[in-house]
Amino acid sequence: MFKIRLLVTALALVSSISVASAWETLPTEAPAPADNATTAAKVELGQMLYHDPRLSSTGTVSCSSCHNTMLGGEDNRPNSMGVNGQTGGRSAPTVWNSAFNTVQFWDGRAASLEAQAAGPVTNPIEMGMKSWDDVVARLQSIEGYKHYFEQAFGKDAISKDNATKAIAAYERTLITPNSPYDRYVSGDKSALSAQQVRGMEKVAELGCTSCHSGPAFNGPGAFQRFPVIADGYWEAQYHFKKDKGLAEVSKNPADEHLFKVPTLRNIALTAPYFHNGSVGTLDKAVMLMGKLQLGKDLTKEETADIVAFLNGLTGEFPKQKMPVLPGTPGSSFN
């Protein structure tokens, strides 16, 4: 009897250690690629470019219009609104902690923040510029940018490559550490409520963490199929399968409905949910993840506990200065 109890305790300890080691805090710095070391000058320029609506054909849409750095890093809309009021079929992912994504965009078609930054600018329904040559020409026409590109990259440095590098360098600073979860994992056991701790344990027990683990709860794999379980009832309501995910880009049937696993950090601030933004509330999103990914009907209590835990993933937003953008020369943008 004693031996059995000892064994159980030992197993519990092992299990508790193994679970504990799986809960990671968010690093306060993001790694940068070898060819784009993060520097203060790049971050300063990148913050300007990120917030500059003159990177769009109408002069009305900046990166921050859809990935709002004053909010949860996106726009709380099902689908974002680009130039001339146009909308697409996907919901803007948050820019906060995007430095910790393995791939970028919902379909994961960009391997880096640099590659991602190049996309929306020339997308006709997003920022609508005809070409990056046009973007570079416009940046060159804004006299004041010359200085900032020079500080960051040296002389005659206004180019697509450097603009996207600067934006990516800035985005690598958009990290939200010290959430209640991080403080809990770091030893402050009062940082999460009993309900939140129950939700945290439930997330591990159900297997949510097999896709949503690591410091940003978006790995270890970069992609996951969604939905895993075919369900005509929910599909009729939310049309998740209309979007083929990675297969839209790769044209490979094996990639159908593969999506980037999104971070769970700050998820309480980023309604509505899923790639098409069709689900308005977090409790419904949790319920659907249970049904469609795990084949489980979560109880009301389980759902409430998990939602409470997810609310504990809201981090501290860094204090930023408001950029002063270089002035527009005598011309208009429309």
Which residues are catalytically annotated? 126
Segment near a second copy (CB under 8 A); pick from 1-9, 75-83, 116-124, 218-226: 75-83
CB nearer to a second copy: pick between 63 and 110: 63
Task: Look up residue 249 and give its amino acid.
Answer: V
C-alpha 186/C-alpha 15 separation (Å) is: 19
Q: How far is the CB of 5 from a second copy (least distance, A)?
A: 45
Helix axes 145-153, 160-171, angle to 10 degrees: 80
C-alpha 4/C-alpha 8 separation (Å) is: 6
Q: How many CA atoms lie within 13 A of 40 on its CB side?
A: 0
Contact 259, 245 (CB under 8 A): yes
Interacting residues with a second copy between 212 and 271 (CB under 8 A) = 268-269, 271
Among residues 75, 114, 126, 302, the one that binds a second copy under rule CB under 8 A = 75
Contact 201, 143 (CB under 8 A): no
Among residues 15, 281, 297, 301, the one that binds a second copy under rule CB under 8 A = 281
CB nearer to a second copy: pick between 98 and 112: 98
Interacting residues with a second copy between 19 and 48 (CB under 8 A) = none
CB nearer to a second copy: pick between 103 and 172: 172
Among residues 95, 103, 282, 306, the one that binds a second copy under rule CB under 8 A = 282
C-alpha 184/C-alpha 181 separation (Å) is: 5
In angstroms and rounded to an integer, the radius of gyration of the C-alpha atoms of the chain is: 22
Tokens of 203: 């997330």
Segment near a second copy (CB under 8 A); pick from 256-264, 287-295, 296-304, 322-330: 322-330
Contacts of 77 (CB under 8 A, 6+ apart): 91, 92, 272, 277
Q: How far is the CB of 14 from a second copy (least distance, A)?
A: 38
**Going residue by residue from 49 to 68, which x/- string records binding to a second copy, judged by CB under 8 A?**
--xxxx---xxx----x--x
Interacting residues with a second copy between 113 and 172 (CB under 8 A) = none
DSSP labels for 167-217? HHHHHTT------HHHHHHTT-TTSS-HHHHHHHHHHHHHTGGGTSBTTTT
Among residues 36, 69, 101, 122, the one that binds a second copy under rule CB under 8 A = 69
C-alpha 270/C-alpha 106 separation (Å) is: 15
CB nearer to a second copy: pick between 234 and 317: 317
The count of residues interacting with a second copy (CB under 8 A) is 49
Among residues 39, 173, 193, 328, the one that binds a second copy under rule CB under 8 A = 328
Residue numbers of the site for a second copy (CB under 8 A)?
A: 51-54, 58-60, 65, 68-72, 75-79, 81, 83-86, 268-269, 271-272, 277, 280-283, 314, 317, 319-325, 327-334
